[in-house]
Amino acid sequence: MEFETVDGKGTAAFERAGSEFVGYVAPAADEDVAEGFLDGIRDDHPDATHHVYAYRVRAEPLRERYDDDGEPSGSAGKPVLNVLQGEAVENVVAVVVRYYGGTKLGYGGLVSAYSDATKRALKDAERRLDVPRDEIRIEVEYDDSGTVRGILESEGVEFDADYGASVVFVARPPAEESDVIEDRVLSATSGRAELD
Name all domains of the chain by residue range, CATH numbers in brackets.
Answer: 3-130 (3.30.230.30), 136-195 (3.30.70.240)
> By CB neighbour count within 10 A (0-12 exposed, 13-18 middle, 19+ buried), where does 76 fall?
buried
CA dist., res. 10 & res. 6, Å (int): 9
- Of 180 and 134, the structure prediction assigns the larger pLDDT to 180
Average pLDDT along the chain:
94
Tell me the pLDDT band of 176, cut-offs 50, 70 and 90: confident
Burial 10-42 (b: 16+ CB within 10 A, else e): bebeeebeebebbbbbbbbeeeebbeebbeebe
pTM of the predicted model as reported, rounded to 2 decimal places: 0.76
pLDDT at 137: 96
pLDDT at 129: 87
Q: What is the mean pLDDT of residues 125-144?
A: 90
- Of 130 and 49, the structure prediction assigns the larger pLDDT to 49
Tell me the pLDDT band of 20, cut-offs 50, 70 and 90: very high
